[in-house]
């Protein structure tokens, strides 16, 4: 208080005696990395003015490095105090140093042409090292000292914008960024790595639909999850599949959010494609560690996919025709600048194209023949309406379904057999969301979401003799999960150095573990025998609360700490947990920072899966009195450096322990889980994984790309498996390398190349056999024996893909021909190893196995268009 | 109508996929010594005979032991009884030696350079059949025979049981539909429940509480610990109408936990063979440094004559 009175007194004293002459004088001075006190002393020496300041308010780590031959005193002072919270006033004999008032700038960042809000755009004040990124709704809030402010807003693929303003009061700032034209666009993949130097969030990658479209993939079918697999720490499962395994975790440990709604089965075509249509996606980010408190419910990753909002300026259309599918996206304003929509659909036709070939291969006569097929479609719709600058509502919906069918018709002279098999599965999600900016410091998002996943299997067999039905049997199975969630989230900036997020959400889960119905009729005169059995529906209530604070401690240190709490009520069981989260950032320089994080996560639902590919038969099940929640603790540390010409390097290490993991007991599978108490078919264990991730990238120039390398180990321990010893996780991958290159030859042609290498998946093979024979028993049988689970490795996986795009501007818009070559050198990578044949081994200590490879060299072609 | 080009492209893709689909690869096994394998079931009603062999990589003939090099000693309550002698093939035994209920037995086997193995077991209390009744019920549109076996479980301890049913009848030639005088004896296929519900006794639903191994079904007393219990099982007797008479021998045993674990893991192993969806199964072993099973078993039998 005393010091404040002194400062006020000085202000009054000198305000009336302002010396024009001192201000007009120009000075030559040189500061060679000196402290503020030393700088003030130097200015005193040349100007004759004395300095009045509170020494405690001076930042001790601030260094002044500056020289001039002729500048007025005011500009010298501006330079000395640049990057501090300090202001000055020059009097007749004195220069008064005081702390500036802090004010808040809040607003939005959006694309100028379409009005699409930009997620994770950077707003950065280089003077104070303060920066924020826009949230999932394109909103930001930053608190800075009063006075002249120079903000830089950037978003890769867009021209950055420098905003100079004299900050005299809390200000609303709506920034409109302009997309780069193809000529200007030299930053190709920078959106993968936004603002990583100054953000406490570590282990995060982000990418846009534009990046996805440039990377060559199987059948030319652009896929979000397959692009993610090229990043360090994120592995693929089997070849061609889109499942992701993050830092040694299982596929069930990824929380996949589509516009904030959890999606339970992200696979089309048994996992060879993901359900996300890149043309409808605006932005996605994946967090592998250092989880902020606002996220919870899964152990290994959070994948947040945001759909486009729809162009609110003009109507637009884009689409493509490929080998597998065609896509069409329509968007436009309903009320310009207020209400917009986007509709996007995709449908495959591989089954239609392949049908003649299948019929030719299986037809044995006019009345006989077999055919089958697999197709999928998905549809995305989003509507948003802006009531005012402060209030906006969104409605989004996704619906997708896969259909697999097989019809066998075996027609004999006097008898016939007919088999009809159908397997269908799909997701439906809906979200209704209301954004409201309460004031410049408080933002609120309220949501009501619905998610449904369902699988239906149907089999019917009819046998006839002399046109008379002799036997008819049928089997129907259905299972699924349905969620209804209400949530409210707040972003709050109560103090200049704090950015607080808090909220809660409540989900009503309805698990439908599966009901099977058998029907058998073997005598037309007798009532059919029908049996139904399977798990009853399980209802559960999950409540989650969180609070986190992003706390700026000085100019170089930032801390994000928070707590995530959850309760899960199912039947008579209740589980509660408190999960602390902590992340720290230390900015060494503008180009170099160090981060560390600790995360405690829990997961109240389990996925029962024993197939390597994304079979829709995987079952989502809740915790029960017997099955406890999965838990994990992850420690991570990393450093990021940026170099000139767009080069950057990041290095991260992590250690993750997991508890209460579940798997099928030995010999059990999906086909036995429906019998008896399914919980008794499960084994419970622990896991651990650790590794180092290395990423070097180049984001500017005609040639860009990255090299990612992961060295990791992931293992499991189940008391009932492998005699309770640690054994490698199936997808334990010691080395995982991805090289991604993009080269732009000119405005019309760009080339993408990827090469991936991974240690082979682990595998169990028997070392030896012995005979099982009883006295007076039947013929001896042979028992294969192995020492431990997953002690062998499949051959290493590697593959080279090419993709080239030819763009051309037309009167109506832009067309692109895309040619691709998957697995260019036709590497026979193992998909699975099925048949053991030890007798063909070339010497006595070898075993031979049959390896099945699914994807040879595969060319692809697609045509896409975008209307002006 | 799809064009020729479309057909050609389809076949090109399919041809490429098929051509690269399958390949044989070789794995070098780590240096690994073969192990002695023992299959020995000790029954007070039978003289002691065990199966001795060694593990092998590919050729089952490698499993055969040279009898002259086999040294196998049996111990009863720590006292050596005798060395086993070769009976035939891979079977070794002690003639006229009958294990005794309640005693502990151990077997030590050595063979040439292979690491010697040890195993232990006890002979459990004899399982008693308190009553054996038959019920004929009209189920699913037909008469179905259900056999009810009443037994008493010992309270406070985990007990394990095995049930075997042997059918004997005259040989029936299905083609000529003629019954001959020669007798045919074979283990019956039957289903069992543990929850008293005859309705689930169909071959469509195999209650996983029980499983079949060595022509017997195995159950634990988890559902009826210390209680009188009725095992209901339904043998398939489709030939009864043709052969007029069938002899049904019902054997009911108490077994050791090791025997149960072995049978359970074998059952899982057998069921998972050839299934790429099932996790691989390690068959249980209670042989130190070796492989296999050494276990006691004791039970009782009843015979039922079934007439058309």
Q: Is the CB of B22 inside 8 Å of chain A's CB atoms?
A: yes
Kind and range of the H or E run holding A683: strand A682-698
**Residue of B7, B18, B39 to mutate when probing chain A, most A C-beta within 10 A:** B39
- Quick one: closest CA in A to B267, which residue? A667
User: In 3D, which of A376, A836, A867 has the Cα closest to residue B274?
Assistant: A836
Tell me which of A81 and A470 has the higher pLDDT.
A81
CA distances from A273 to A207, A278, A345, A625, B140 (A): 18, 12, 15, 36, 46
Measured between beta carbons, which residues in chain A are less than 8 angstroms from residue B41? 774-775
Measured between beta carbons, which residues in chain A are less than 8 angstroms from residue B63? 770-771
Rg of chain A taking only CA atoms, in angstroms: 32
Q: Which of residues 189-218 of B touch A (CB under 8 A)?
A: 202, 204-209, 214-215
Measured between beta carbons, which residues in chain A are less than 8 angstroms from residue B269? 666-667, 783-784
pLDDT attached to residue A838: 57
Give first-to-last CA distance, chain A, whole Å: 64
Q: Is the Cβ–Cβ distance between A246 and A288 less than 8 Å? A: yes
Q: How big is chain A, counted in residues?
A: 868
Distance CA A587, CA A591 (A): 8
Residue A752 has which token pair?
């993408």
Q: Is the Cβ–Cβ distance between A443 and A139 less than 8 Å? A: yes
Q: Is the Cβ–Cβ distance between A673 and A665 less than 8 Å? A: no
Q: Is the CB of A832 inside 8 Å of chain B's CB atoms?
A: yes
Question: Could you list the pLDDT tens digit for every one of the 308 residues in chain B?
Answer: 344 444 555 555 555 555 556 677 777 666 678 899 999 999 999 899 999 999 987 778 888 999 999 999 999 999 999 999 999 888 999 988 999 998 999 999 999 889 999 999 999 999 989 988 887 776 666 667 778 888 888 888 888 888 888 888 888 887 777 888 888 877 776 665 433 332 222 222 233 334 556 667 787 777 677 777 777 777 766 666 677 788 888 889 999 999 988 887 887 787 777 666 566 788 889 999 999 999 999 999 999 888 77
Average pLDDT of the segment spanning A432-442: 90
Q: CB B59: neighbour CB atoms within 10 A?
A: 11
| Residue A93, φ and ψ in degrees, nearest 5 | -125, 0
pLDDT attached to residue B260: 87
User: Chain B: nearest CA to A769, how far in angstroms?
Assistant: 5
**Residue of A238, A240, A610, A667 to mutate when probing chain B, most B C-beta within 10 A:** A667
- E strands within A101-208? 102-111, 122-125, 130-133, 139-145, 147-154, 161-167, 171-177, 204-208
C-beta atoms of A666 and B49 within 8 A = no
Identify the residue whose tokens are 């639903």: B205
Per-residue b or e along A491-504, where b marks 16 or more CB atoms closer than 10 Å to that residue's CB: bbbeebbebbbbbe
User: Chain A: nearest CA to B200, how far in angstroms?
Assistant: 9
Confidence of residue A678 (pLDDT cuts 50, 70, 90): low
Q: Is the pLDDT of residue A750 over 70?
A: yes
Q: Is the CB of A720 inside 8 Å of chain B's CB atoms?
A: no
pLDDT attached to residue B36: 95
Residue A507 has which token pair?
């989900």
Confidence of residue A533 (pLDDT cuts 50, 70, 90): low
pLDDT attached to residue A659: 95
| Residue B11, φ and ψ in degrees, nearest 5 | -65, -35
Residue B31 has which token pair?
């240096």
**Partners of residue A579 on adjacent β-strands:** A564
Confidence of residue A182 (pLDDT cuts 50, 70, 90): very low
pLDDT attached to residue A11: 45
C-beta atoms of A828 and B60 within 8 A = no
Residue range A539-569, pLDDT digits in tens: 999 999 999 999 988 778 899 999 999 999 9
Give first-to-last CA distance, chain B, whole Å: 64
Confidence of residue A185 (pLDDT cuts 50, 70, 90): very low
Residue range A488-497, pLDDT digits in tens: 999 998 887 8
pLDDT attached to residue B66: 92
Distance CA A742, CA A278 (A): 19
DSSP state string for B288-304: ETSEEEEEEEEEEEEEE
Tell me which of B227 and A314 has the higher pLDDT.
A314
Tell me which of A614 and A177 has the higher pLDDT.
A177
C-beta atoms of A531 and B205 within 8 A = yes
Measured between beta carbons, which residues in chain B are less than 8 angstroms from residue A526? 141
Measured between beta carbons, which residues in chain A are less than 8 angstroms from residue B208? 672, 675-676, 680-681
User: In 3D, which of A714, A761, A791 has the Cα closest to residue B30?
Assistant: A791
Confidence of residue A737 (pLDDT cuts 50, 70, 90): very high
């Amino acid at each position: 208080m005393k010091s404040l009175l002194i400062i006020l007194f000085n202000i009054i004293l000198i305000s009336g005696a302002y010396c024009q002459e001192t201000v007009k004088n120009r000075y030559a001075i040189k500061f060679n990395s000196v402290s503020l006190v030393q700088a003030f002393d130097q200015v005193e020496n040349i100007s004759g003015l004395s300095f009045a300041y509170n020494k405690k308010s001076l930042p001790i780590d601030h260094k002044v490095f500056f020289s001039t031959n002729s500048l007025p005193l005011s500009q010298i002072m501006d330079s000395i105090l640049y990057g501090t919270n300090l202001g000055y006033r020059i009097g007749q004999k004195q220069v008064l140093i005081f702390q500036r008032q802090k004010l808040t700038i809040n607003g939005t960042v959006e694309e100028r042409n379409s009005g699409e809000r930009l997620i994770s755009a950077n707003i950065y004040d280089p003077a104070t090292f303060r920066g924020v990124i826009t949230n999932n709704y394109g909103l930001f809030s930053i608190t800075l000292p009063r006075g002249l402010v120079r903000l830089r807003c950037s978003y890769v693929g867009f021209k950055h914008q420098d905003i100079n303003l004299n900050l005299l009061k809390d200000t609303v700032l709506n920034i409109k960024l302009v997309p780069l034209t193809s000529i200007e666009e030299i930053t190709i993949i920078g959106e993968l790595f936004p603002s990583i130097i100054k953000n406490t969030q570590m282990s995060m990658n982000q990418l846009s639909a534009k990046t996805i479209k440039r990377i060559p993939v199987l059948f030319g079918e652009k896929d979000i999850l397959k692009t993610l697999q090229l990043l360090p720490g994120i592995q693929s499962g089997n070849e061609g599949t889109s499942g992701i395994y993050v830092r040694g975790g299982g596929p069930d440990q990824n929380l996949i959010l589509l516009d904030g709604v959890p999606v339970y089965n992200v696979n089309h075509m048994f996992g060879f494609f993901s359900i996300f249509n890149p043309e409808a996606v605006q932005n996605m980010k994946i967090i592998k560690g250092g989880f902020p408190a606002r996220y919870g419910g899964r152990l290994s990753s959070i994948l947040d996919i945001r759909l486009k909002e729809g162009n609110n300026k003009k109507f637009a259309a884009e689409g493509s025709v490929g080998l597998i599918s065609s896509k069409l996206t329509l968007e436009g304003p309903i009320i310009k600048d207020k209400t917009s929509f986007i509709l996007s659909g995709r449908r495959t036709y591989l089954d239609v194209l392949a049908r003649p070939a299948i019929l030719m291969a299986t037809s044995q006569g006019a009345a006989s023949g077999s055919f089958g097929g697999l197709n999928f479609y998905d549809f995305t719709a989003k509507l948003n309406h802006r009531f005012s600058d402060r209030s906006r509502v969104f409605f989004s919906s996704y619906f997708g379904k896969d259909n697999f069918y097989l019809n066998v018709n075996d027609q004999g002279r006097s008898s016939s057999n007919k088999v009809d098999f159908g397997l269908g599965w799909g997701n439906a999600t809906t979200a209704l969301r209301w954004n409201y900016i309460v004031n410049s410091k408080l933002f609120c998002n309220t949501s009501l979401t619905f998610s449904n996943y369902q699988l239906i299997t149907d089999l019917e067999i009819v046998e006839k003799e002399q046109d008379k039905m002799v036997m008819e049997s049928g089997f129907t199975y259905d299972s699924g999960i349905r969620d209804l969630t209400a949530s409210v989230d707040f972003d709050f900036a109560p103090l200049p150095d704090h950015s607080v997020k808090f909220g809660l959400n409540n989900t009503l889960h309805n698990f439908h573990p599966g009901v099977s119905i058998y029907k058998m009729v073997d005598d037309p005169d007798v009532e059919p025998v029908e049996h139904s059995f399977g798990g009853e529906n399980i209802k559960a209530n999950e409540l989650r609360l969180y609070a986190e604070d992003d706390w700026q401690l000085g100019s170089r240190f930032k801390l994000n700490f928070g707590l995530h709490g959850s309760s899960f009520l199912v039947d008579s069981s209740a589980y509660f947990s408190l999960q602390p989260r902590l992340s720290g950032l230390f900015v060494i320089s503008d180009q170099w920072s160090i981060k560390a994080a600790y995360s405690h996560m829990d997961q109240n639902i389990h996925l029962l899966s024993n197939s390597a590919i994304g079979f829709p038969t995987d079952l989502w099940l809740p915790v029960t009195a017997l099955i406890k929640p999965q838990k994990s603790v992850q420690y991570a540390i990393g450093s990021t450096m940026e170099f000139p010409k767009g080069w950057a390097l990041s290095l991260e290490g992590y250690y993750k322990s997991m508890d209460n993991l579940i798997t099928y007991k030995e010999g059990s599978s999906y086909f036995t889980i429906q019998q008896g108490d399914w919980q008794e078919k499960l084994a419970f264990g622990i896991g651990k994984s650790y590794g180092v991730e290395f990423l070097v990238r180049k984001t500017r120039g005609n040639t860009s790309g990255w090299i990612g390398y992961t060295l990791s180990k992931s293992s499991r321990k189940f008391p009932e498996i492998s005699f309770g010893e640690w054994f490698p996780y199936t997808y334990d991958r010691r080395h995982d390398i991805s090289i991604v290159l993009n080269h732009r030859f000119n405005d019309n042609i760009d080339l993408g190349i990827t090469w991936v290498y991974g240690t082979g998946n682990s595998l169990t093979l028997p070392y030896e056999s012995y005979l099982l024979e009883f006295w007076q028993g039947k013929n001896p049988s042979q028992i294969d024996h192995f020492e431990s689970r997953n002690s062998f490795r499949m051959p290493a996986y590697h593959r080279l893909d090419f993709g080239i795009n030819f763009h051309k501007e037309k009167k109506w818009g832009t067309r692109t021909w895309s040619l691709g070559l998957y697995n260019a050198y036709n590497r026979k990578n193992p998909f699975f190893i099925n048949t053991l044949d030890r007798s063909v081994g070339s010497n006595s200590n070898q075993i031979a196995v049959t390896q099945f490879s699914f994807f040879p060299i595969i060319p692809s072609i697609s045509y896409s268009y975008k209307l002006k | 109508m799809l064009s020729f080009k479309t057909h050609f492209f389809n076949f090109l893709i399919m041809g490429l996929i098929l051509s690269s689909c399958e390949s044989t690869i070789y794995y070098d096994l780590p240096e690994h010594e073969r192990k002695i394998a023992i299959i020995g079931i000790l029954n007070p009603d039978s003289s002691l005979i065990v199966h001795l062999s060694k593990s092998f990589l590919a050729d089952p003939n490698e499993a055969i032991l040279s009898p002259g090099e086999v040294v196998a000693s049996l111990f009863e309550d720590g006292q050596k009884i005798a060395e086993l002698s070769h009976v035939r093939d891979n079977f070794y035994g002690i003639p006229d030696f009958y294990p005794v209920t309640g005693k502990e037995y151990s077997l030590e086997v050595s063979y040439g350079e292979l690491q010697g193995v040890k195993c232990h077991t006890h002979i459990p209390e004899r399982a008693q059949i308190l009553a054996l009744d038959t019920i004929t019920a009209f189920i699913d549109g037909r008469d179905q025979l259900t056999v009810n076996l009443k037994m008493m479980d010992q309270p406070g301890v985990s007990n394990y049981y095995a049930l075997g049913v042997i059918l004997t009848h005259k040989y029936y030639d299905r083609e000529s539909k003629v019954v001959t005088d020669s007798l045919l004896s074979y283990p019956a296929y039957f289903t069992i429940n543990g929850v008293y519900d005859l309705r689930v006794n169909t071959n469509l639903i195999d209650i996983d509480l029980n499983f079949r191994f060595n022509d017997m079904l195995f159950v634990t007393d988890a559902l009826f610990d210390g209680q009188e219990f009725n095992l209901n099982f339904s043998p398939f007797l489709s030939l009864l109408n043709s052969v007029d008479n069938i002899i049904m021998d019902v054997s009911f045993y108490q077994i050791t936990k090791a025997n149960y674990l072995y049978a359970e893991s074998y059952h899982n192993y057998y069921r998972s063979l050839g299934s790429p969806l099932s996790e691989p199964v390690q068959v249980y072993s209670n042989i130190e440094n070796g492989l296999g099973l050494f276990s006691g078993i004791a039970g009782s039998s009843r015979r039922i004559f079934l007439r058309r």
